[in-house]
Amino acid sequence: MNLDLISQLVKTLQDAPEIGSVEIRRGFLGLWASVRVSRAGHQAGGAQHVVVGQAPPPMTAPAPMAAGGGGGGGGAPVAAAAPPAPLLLEIKSPMVGTFYKSPEPGAEAYIKVGSRVTSGQVVCIIEAMKIMNEIEADVQGVVREVCVENAQPVEFGQVLFRLDPNG
């Protein structure tokens, strides 16, 4: 194990209270096979590869006031509020690295807009420190937005995908 990497993981855990733990599995000849990040507050065995949150509810205009005794009938008409947009679930990056939409160059993307995603399904790869980390969804729904371009650097907590859980 590289001591610099361990200290970097400890610093990440200290700086991000939403991360409960980081598990590193070693494979053949001591090479790292996978990295798993779990959110704080989840039961053991409920380890997640992604951090999921909900988008805030959309802002709507306040309801018009009822016509009262104040007169003032010459005001502009009040536009009807648009129907609220559905709440979308976000799949966020659990680490800093480079985002890849497919398992190898030229291969089809794991998911794209309109794809149905199930819990546990691999949605992308994030390369960090020369390790390819498969990121799995812990929610299900239909992909409404892919927020990152292929081979683009991503930050911890950056939104990668938005899913409609009712789609």
* Degrees, nearest 5: CA angle 115-49-130: 100
Please report the pLDDT score of residue 46 as a whole number: 40
Q: How confident is the model at residue 1 (pLDDT cuts 50, 70, 90)?
A: low
Q: What is the tens place of the pLDDT at every residue in 10-36?
A: 777 777 767 766 666 655 555 555 566
Check: CB of residue 78 under 8 Å from CB of residue 134. Answer: no
Check: CB of residue 36 under 8 Å from CB of residue 54. Answer: no
Q: How confident is the model at residue 127 (pLDDT cuts 50, 70, 90)?
A: very high
pLDDT, average across residues 72-76: 50
* Residue tagged 């979308």 (tokens): 88
pLDDT, average across residues 154-166: 93
State both tokens at 28: 């053949």
**Rounded to an integer, what is the distance from CA 26 to the centroid of its chain?**
26
Length of the chain: 167
State both tokens at 136: 């799995």
Q: Is residue 167's pLDDT more than 70?
A: yes
Rg (Cα) of the chain, in Å, rounded?
22
Residue ranges and CATH numbers for the domains of the chain are: 50-55+87-164 (2.40.50.100)
Q: How confident is the model at residue 123 (pLDDT cuts 50, 70, 90)?
A: very high
Please report the pLDDT score of residue 22 as a whole number: 67
Q: DSSP character for 82?
A: P
State both tokens at 106: 């030229």
Q: Is residue 151's pLDDT more than 70?
A: yes
* Residue tagged 């709507």 (tokens): 60
Please report the pLDDT score of residue 91 as a whole number: 93
Please report the pLDDT score of residue 29 as a whole number: 52
